[in-house]
Amino acid sequence: MPAIDAAGPQVSAARGARRRADTTILLGIAATIALLHVLTDNRYGFHRDELQFLSDARHLAWGYVAYPPFTPFVERIGLVLFGLWMPGLRLFSVLAQAAATLTAGLMARELGGARLAQVTAALAVAFSVLPLFQSTEFQYTSFDFLWWVLIAYFVIRLLKSDDARWWIAIGACIGLGLETKYAIVFYVAGILAGVILTPARRFLKSGWFWTGVALALLIFLPNFMWLVRHNFVSYDFLRHIHARDVGEGRADGFLRQQFWLCINLAAAPLWLAGLWGVARNRRYRMLAWMAVVPVLLFWLNKGRSYYTSGVYPMLVAMGAAMAERWLSSLPRWGRRTVETIYFAVFAIVSACLCAVIIPIASSGPLEQFALSRNGDMREEFGWNELVRTVAGIRDSLPPSEQAHLGITTGNYGEYGAIEILGRPYGLPEPIGTTNSEYLRGYPTPAPTTLIVLGLNAQEANAIFTGCRLAGHNGNAEGVRNEESQYHPDIFVCGPPREPWPELWKNHQNFG
């Protein structure tokens, strides 16, 4: 008996030391990936979406037409801390993906995986398409993805421990998710299905479950009140964007892209095994519903494929734990052979993804390889040139016209560029009708001379009077993107053809 007691603390200490070492390795993986992104996040310029977030960050509110308030609020913190230093402004996205990477490894641990499973799960998430992309730009999907992953982790802890207090953490993440991206309601549908259709229904009798529900609704309440005050304009926006995406074929290939866009292609066997594993496991069957229901709902409603990326880390974690146990049953040579082949394939796939998604090079063949395949990267070119061109046109006008000058924009990228990057040039606040720009209205007194962006000659002349071509929009690198291809001309015009109140009433745009 004394010998057993003496061995107990030693075994416990060894187990604790292994857990700490495993955690250190996971932290090292997350930190290394984060450092890679920080060192490469200053290659080009802001993406048009980032310019919208930066603009909205200067106009804090409990809601915006295109999204809830969490992301602009975080970007406002970035502006205060870092100014317009891009690696700083993108740092919160990088940290969110690093946290998701770490959490994937921890999920594998909670599901019974040792070091190999934990490392595999973390690497599979870190080198998946969406986390790689989200670390190169500041996007609301960065935080949306993190909430999905954290919810899965907390659900695993809930099911493993049977401690209903985990519903508080789950509810908090759902509330933050609702304040980040409304699409999380599809994930909530999966959670509710998992509770009702599995033994997890026992939690419906727990006060902690309903406290978590109340907490989620309380966190979401400020944005809900904003939506009520603005006649649920975000619903109109989402309906418009969905129709656009379907019309342009952006929802095509949904099921196929679950394999290579939502998760690293080399990890597909892991998430498939993980889905089979959680579906067969009575304790963790709720996770299967959390995965299947959102995927089916987005597929049936013709959503874009990457919306479901957040369901795969938990499946990869389970699959990695299962694969590790299977490998332990093989002879040593068999185990080493399988591991070598798998990680070689994983490395090749990951290297290709990095070459396309991460701006590793700022010139040469590697840059051209990325630009030819990454449309989002091409949208990071030309904004500074646009602002300089507009400033030059402004300076060329006679003082009488400069004194009553306005700048109108055709999309949120142009609006954000003039508002954020135009400040050193002393440009006036832009006038726009896209998304939340519309809610900010037009200046009083209204300008009588306008520099018009984002329209062709026919559109400009239909809206404004006396338009003349004044300049061209492009970029020094000759990169073909939305601005250089579809909005190349800049005009100087007189007042609009109809009174400003009428013009405003007829030109609310979503984009």
Ramachandran region, residue 478 (left: φ > 0; alpha: ψ -120 to 50; beta: rest)? left
What pLDDT, in 10s, does the model give residues 48-92? 999 999 999 999 999 999 999 999 999 999 999 999 999 999 999
Distances 223 to 64, 241, 272, 300 between C-alpha atoms, Å: 9, 20, 37, 27
**What does the pLDDT read at residue 494?**
97
**What does the pLDDT read at residue 459?**
96
**What does the pLDDT read at residue 177?**
98
**What does the pLDDT read at residue 511?**
93
| pTM of the predicted model as reported, rounded to 2 decimal places | 0.95
**What does the pLDDT read at residue 344?**
98
**What does the pLDDT read at residue 362?**
86
Find how far residue 276's CA is from the centre of its chain.
28
For residues 97 and 134, is the Cβ–Cβ distance under 8 A? Answer: yes
For helices 332-357 and 115-126, what crossing angle results, to 10°?
20
Pairing type for strands 468-472 and 449-452 reads unpaired
What pLDDT, in 10s, does the model give residues 295-350? 999 999 999 999 999 999 999 999 999 999 999 999 999 999 999 999 999 999 99
Burial class of residue 505 in the structure, from the number of CB atoms within 10 Å of its CB (0-12 exposed, 13-18 middle, 19+ buried): exposed
State the DSSP H helix or E strand holding residue 316, giving kind and residue range, or none if neither: helix 312-328
Name the amino acid, one letter, at 438.
Y
Q: What does the pLDDT profile of the chain (511 residues) look like in tens digits?
A: 344 444 477 777 888 889 999 999 999 999 999 999 999 999 999 999 999 999 999 999 999 999 999 999 999 999 999 999 999 999 999 999 999 999 999 999 999 999 999 999 999 999 999 999 999 999 999 999 999 999 999 999 999 999 999 999 999 999 999 999 999 999 999 999 999 999 999 999 999 999 999 999 999 999 999 999 999 999 999 999 999 999 999 999 999 999 999 999 999 999 999 999 999 999 999 999 999 999 999 999 999 999 999 999 999 999 999 999 999 999 999 999 999 999 999 999 999 999 999 999 888 999 999 999 999 999 999 999 999 999 999 999 999 999 999 999 999 999 999 999 999 999 999 999 999 999 999 999 999 999 999 999 999 999 999 999 999 998 989 999 999 999 999 999 999 999 999 999 999 999 9
**What does the pLDDT read at residue 5?**
44
Strand order in the sheet with 405-408: 405-408, 449-452, 489-493, 468-472
- 50 contacts: CB under 8 Å, gap ≥ 6: 89, 90, 137, 138, 139, 416
Size of the chain, expressed as the number of residues it contains: 511
In three-state secondary structure terms, 197 is: helix
- 316 contacts: CB under 8 Å, gap ≥ 6: 104, 108, 120, 121, 124, 125, 263, 267, 270, 271, 274
Quickly list H helices, 358-439: 364-373, 375-378, 383-396, 399-402, 412-416
**What does the pLDDT read at residue 13?**
82
DSSP assignment of 22-88: HHHHHHHHHHHHHHHHHHHTTSS---HHHHHHHHHHTS--S--SSS-SHHHHHHHHHHHHHTT-HHH
Distances 372 to 175, 309, 463 between C-alpha atoms, Å: 39, 24, 36
**What does the pLDDT read at residue 4?**
42
* Torsion sign over Cα 186, 187, 188, 191: positive
Task: Name the residue ranges covered by the structural domains of the chain.
Answer: 22-238+249-364, 383-505
